Chain A
Amino acid sequence: MKPGAPTIDPLVKVEDIHTYYGKSHILHGVSLEVGHGEVVGLLGRNGVGKSTTLKAIVGIVQPSRGQVLFEGRTITGLPTHRVARIGIGYVPEDRRIFPLLTVMENLRTGLDRHGVDAARKQVLLDKAYTYFPVLAERRSQAGGTLSGGEQQMLAIARAMMLEPKIILLDEPTEGLMPRMVSQIREIIDVLNRENVAVLLVEQNVPLTLEASRRVYILEKGVVRHHAMAADLRVDDAVIHQYLGV
């Protein structure tokens, strides 16, 4: 149950959060941590509250109990736009590209903030266009006209414009072609190299175990298991038990 190396000074710490959707109790006290620059996987079957956990971190869903800490300060109850500005990027499950904004305008939603001068903006844009050349080609095309994979890349690039310290990725490979999946995998490595932490929610178990350092397994709104990804790669009984794959 105890993983090898818990982070000493976590970037994000979720402490015993409970959430309700109407009357149904979704999260029954989820606790987890993500260290600086660490990639952490969050696995579990459909409907166990993985997406809700991410939403609770960014403040789209307000936990009724428990708290979320970012760099040691509590951010529970902070409006979502403030959470985004302090360095938490969010890439939701359905990507949620602004369909009528162009690719460039989609990026500008994260880029045009106070304290970012023109030179810095250009650096960030160049970086996004280097990682995702297809976005450069389509920069004046409406977001809604992109393919699923391109939209996923735009969603990640858009979150990167906030210069976040952590990006929450909700099922980034869902419904993508294998070639796109490996591109997403590469991007997670790139983020990792740039010391951006990633909290990765996925159904794709092999990819998650490969990309993450630690993994939490969620079942019925609680963390049932917590392990180093490397250990789970060797011993997949746990994976069988909780995920049935």
Chain B
Amino acid sequence: MSLSRRHLLLSVVLPAALPALAQTPRRTLVQAMAIDDMISLDPAESFEISGGELIGNLYERLVQFDLDDPSKLSGQLAEGWTLGADGRSYDFRLREGLRFAAGSPLTAAEVVYSLQRAVRLNKTPAFILTQLGWDAGNVGAMVRQTGPLTLNISVHEAFAPSFVLNCLSSTVASIVDQRVVQAHPADWLRRNSAGSGPWRLRDWRAAEIVVLDRNEAYYGPKPQIERAIYSHVKESSMQRLMLVRGDVDVARNLSPQDILALKANNAQIKLTQVLKGTVYYISLNQKNPLLAKAEVREAFKWLVDYEALGATLIQGIGKPHQNFLPHGLLGASDEAPYKLDVARAKALLAKAGLPDGFKVTMDVRSTQPVQGIAEAFQQWAGRAGIQIEILPGDGKQTLTRYRARKHDIYIGDWGTDYWDPHSNADTFARNPDNSDRAAVQPLAWRNAWANAPLNREAEAALLERDTARRAALYERMQAQFRAESPFVMIYQQLQVAAVRAGVAGFRLGPTSDTTFLAPVTKTR
């Protein structure tokens, strides 16, 4: 294409030689999403939300749960499995004809390799597998190939089968192409993909763009879309403008006011949502003697105006929730005994010997909606005489302080790591070692809350194999938690995506790695 001088001049003067309404390229799905949290795409290492979504599309795992009913688990790479009589041994059979994107066959050997690799590397997400009783020393025996398409997985105790299977459905248990991984240097998998999923990683420019290309060698039904692009756009208003304009097909990080504004524009834009396994909470550091008093803990629970929050600050992006298990998980409770009751809070404070209230600080991340909620909470608490001084900070900064237990009050969130109630119970209710030198730092530890009975209940629930009984155990735990814990649970996250007309089959999953792009089709 030759360039004449006139062309050049014209283009500088008239950049509007653009079509009236922008359109994304055919067969390409463009999403506007904040992806600057991604650090690594190696399944054995990745723990961020954006990374999780990508890994969910690039790789596959032994089992998966049904998006319509997450309690139903089925085989993804596995055709089926049998559980041993002692409840500690699982025999998996793989499907036939499985292939990696690079072309080599996916057999039991690769499954064993992938699981062992994750355990041996022992990076952050490895705990999901090591909690099954595996470590670098014994994983060779615990996870072994028994035939070309069969393998045996042993776990340390007779855990509830749904627990074990859900662990195997998480991103850390993704199956990687052994041949490719071993042919490259150790950290190659961070920025490249070697999976069997319907997509391949084409390009990743940090805080800019991620491009997935269709896996042409996929053994299953190929996606209609040929290329999936995640474009980094931080601001919700920007995402909204781009969506309206047609420069993107899907917007993923919309704020309540942008969601409301888009709802009015119904013809071109559909909104889809899902309740995610992420809960937001306010926690009270028990190291602070005032906050350690039982009456004070309860008083705070009567100082949240759930109704107002649900109608304003978290409208469309969250549902008020008062339990540590997100709705949708086995045993999740929807009990909501608390509401704004300043008089009751004051009475409780008086009983604690603090009729005139007291002063306390609160670490708040400078992002929305957390900051807005904190400011509102500051006002409600103020009415009961509690003067909260907000200490704003950047997310990582406040997290550093939180983990060092230097805070008074903290407002944060927690996403379930795998779709089993033990994930949240393990962090909210269990605190085996409350000392400063503890090996792990669950949320209960960070707030210096040691509750031995609840520890035992959590451990017992993990080993309960009967589903109904297990659910009842968690219900009881949540009731106790509501009454005694230093956690004021606030809401459960609603993830929302705005999708342009002409895009069909886009569905958000309840976890970060279950938003699948393969079923998406574009009519334009």
The finding on whether chains A and B are genuine partners in a shared complex, rather than unrelated, reads no
A→B interface (CB under 8 Å): none
